[in-house]
Amino acid sequence: MTPLITLSRALTDPALFGRTFSAPSFWPWRTLSKVIDGIAPTEPRETELFMQCTGRTQLPIQPVRRLILLAGRRAGKDRFMSAVAVWRAALCADWRKHISAGEQAVVILLGADKKQAAILRRYCEGLLQAALLAQEITRSTGDVIEFRNGSSLEIATNDARLVRGRSAIAVLGSECCHWRTDEHAASSDEEVVGAATPSMAMCPDGGLLMLGSSVYSKRGYMYRKWKELHGNGNTDDICWFAPSRVMNPKLSASVIDRALEEDAAKARAEFLNAWREDISDFIPIDVIDAVTDFGVSERPPLLGSGINYIAWCDAAGGTGRDSFALAIAHRNKDRTVVLDLVRERKPRFIASAVVAEFATILRQYKITEIHGDAFAGGFHADLWPDHKIKFKPAERSTSENYLALLPLLTQPGRTRLLHDHTLRHQLAGLERRAHSGDRESVSHANAQSAHDDVAAAAAGALVLAASRPGYNMSGDWIGNLERATFSRSLWGMPMVMRP
């Protein structure tokens, strides 16, 4: 299929995208548009840029239909991808000639979250104000823009369900390094790509898959494709890899220098396109599976057995994004730490109603006190006494509990988990971060889209149960738990020490 107009021409035509992309500072993006078109660079600086950003020595000889775009923040990725989306939908072809009756050729543009999707929509709407493009629009409602040539442009958040089963002519994604990467997430990066490929199968040129992002942690689809494609001249797919100022020469160096002074690791990833070394997967999925009792979702209370059940809650107010989670665990005489129950209430909810519900569960296990982090106790601690349950704020943070949980999970025969998909995914999604002064912290990977409420409750219950009735993580007797304090070993792993 030969495009009616190439992307590189649309970027320079003043009646189309030229008002924005014909500016001198956009020459790197115009070079990339030639790569997508399969047009060889004509200027020495374009050839040099291609080799620098792709790691290849051979120039492209055909249009690129699978592109991984890794460029730093403020480089102009979203603006460029929005132009590609509009070009593909409104200008590339008369899609009515290539689709079946009743179908619509769809360009799907996905943001990492609602805020990102809104930014992409504003860029697209700005480009569509050009007179020649405005007259091509037949309808614009919500997140869908329809064109006279039988195509539509849909802008939404990352959701594999939006991609699956469509007659897509292009799927574009923004900030894909920050998408979910756990294998069983409904809309993980791999799931979206897996849905996009068959959706574009009937497109005459195979469709256009373009995924862009600044780099983040060394995992997920984007990192895998960077390893596979960058510098590899034996594939038609391309990974374009560039720091911010390479693609945006107008970006002030002082902005980057200031960011490096404030947080070097974060700024190197965001502006210099350096994969973060200070973030790593914390608990491998095989470690979680090895201690999971598959098929066991909950363990009933064994009353009269002398078991001392421990309860931990990760509380939430009910109107935000966080869940209210409860976990119950106990420690056997053989030092095995067992998770007995996890419950989660997702927002919206009334906190007092959830406390009443959870208190009923605690009474079934003969539990008269519940633990949780001190911050969470600020707004719900007074609710528990109404149900004859005492709330005890913890001395350790959630991050410290995660650090203490890891040796419990890796020590053979020490821990048994429940078969709970949410718990499994949240534990696998935790990341360890290194900070200055040899400090470490653990939290979920993405504050915008990830959660760890169930994992936090389970970790708190297991770690507290493991340290009763007086053994540390190595099995040495230390006496009363209340006299024990946490300190850090040379390897950064927390351990209970005798005061």
Average pLDDT over all residues of the chain: 85
At 404, is the secondary structure helix, strand, or coil? helix
Give me the pLDDT at residue 449, please: 45
Q: How far apart are CA 209 and CA 228, in angstroms?
A: 16
- Please give the helix or strand (H or E) that residue 351 lies within, else none: helix 351-364
- Contact indicator for 263, 217 with CB cutoff of 8 Å: no
Domains and CATH numbers, the chain: 7-251 (3.40.50.300), 285-497 (3.30.420.240)
Longest CA pairwise span in the chain (Å): 83
pTM: 0.65
Alpha helices (runs of H) in 316-444, residue ranges in sequence order: 351-364, 377-380, 398-410, 421-428
Of how many residues is the chain composed? 499
The average pLDDT across 36-51 equals 93
Tens digit of each residue's pLDDT (9 = 90 or more) over 179-201: 877 655 556 788 888 888 888 88
74 Ramachandran zone, left/alpha/beta (phi>0; psi -120 to 50) = left
Higher pLDDT, 156 or 180: 156
Rg of the chain taking only CA atoms, in angstroms: 27
Evaluated on CA atoms 253, 256, 260, 264, the torsion sign reads negative
Share of the chain above pLDDT 70, in %: 88
- Contact indicator for 78, 123 with CB cutoff of 8 Å: yes
Tens digit of each residue's pLDDT (9 = 90 or more) over 67-84: 999 999 999 999 999 999
Going along 102-206, which residue ranges are E strands?
105-111, 137-141, 144-147, 151-157, 168-173
